[in-house]
């Protein structure tokens, strides 16, 4: 058995800029926009959710002030769901193949496309 096992990677159906609803954790029930995605760790960073405090040291060369900085922390992908723009509710994401061969993301509740 290997000493360092990596987390299993899944295909993430959430994209940067999507509105998501947080299902569990201390910020459960909040909604926000996805700022970044880390597919290696299966995590997303959601705007105004999972706020963590980081103590920074001042660095005059890089023009950084010292102090306590609050920023968003990562949330596991399994703890968020995409909010459909048509339904207004959080939903699972399906995939549909179009006639030209391209794939789009589809809302499982109402069937509308989630891609812009």
Q: How confident is the model at residue 9 (pLDDT cuts 50, 70, 90)?
A: confident
- How much is the pLDDT for 5? 78
- How much is the pLDDT for 4? 77
Report the distance separating Cα 85 and Cα 114, nearest Å: 7
Report the distance separating Cα 116 and Cα 111, nearest Å: 14
- How much is the pLDDT for 2? 66
Sorted by where each begins, the domain ranges of the chain are 19-57+64-88
Output the pTM of the full model: 0.83
C-alpha separations of 59 from 24, 50, 54, 62, 68 in Å: 37, 26, 15, 6, 14
- How much is the pLDDT for 1? 58
Q: How confident is the model at residue 83 (pLDDT cuts 50, 70, 90)?
A: very high
Candidate CATH numbers 1.20.1420.30, 3.40.50.920, 2.30.30.30, 3.30.310.50; the one for domain 19-57+64-88: 2.30.30.30
User: What whole-number percentage of the chain has pLDDT above 70?
Assistant: 97
User: What whole-number percentage of the chain has pLDDT above 90?
Assistant: 87
Say if residue 16's pLDDT is above 80.
yes
């Amino acid at each position: 058995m290997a000493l360092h096992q990596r987390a299993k990677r899944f295909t993430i159906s959430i994209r940067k800029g999507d509105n998501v609803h947080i299902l569990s954790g201390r910020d459960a029930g909040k909604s926000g926009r996805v700022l970044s995605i880390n597919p290696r760790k299966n995590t997303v960073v959601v705007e105004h959710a999972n706020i963590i405090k980081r103590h920074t040291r001042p660095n005059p060369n890089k023009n950084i002030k010292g102090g306590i900085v609050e920023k968003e922390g990562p949330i596991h992908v399994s703890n968020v769901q995409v909010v459909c723009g048509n339904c207004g509710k959080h939903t699972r994401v399906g995939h549909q193949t179009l006639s030209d061969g391209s794939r789009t993301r589809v809302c499982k509740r109402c069937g509308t496309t989630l891609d812009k």
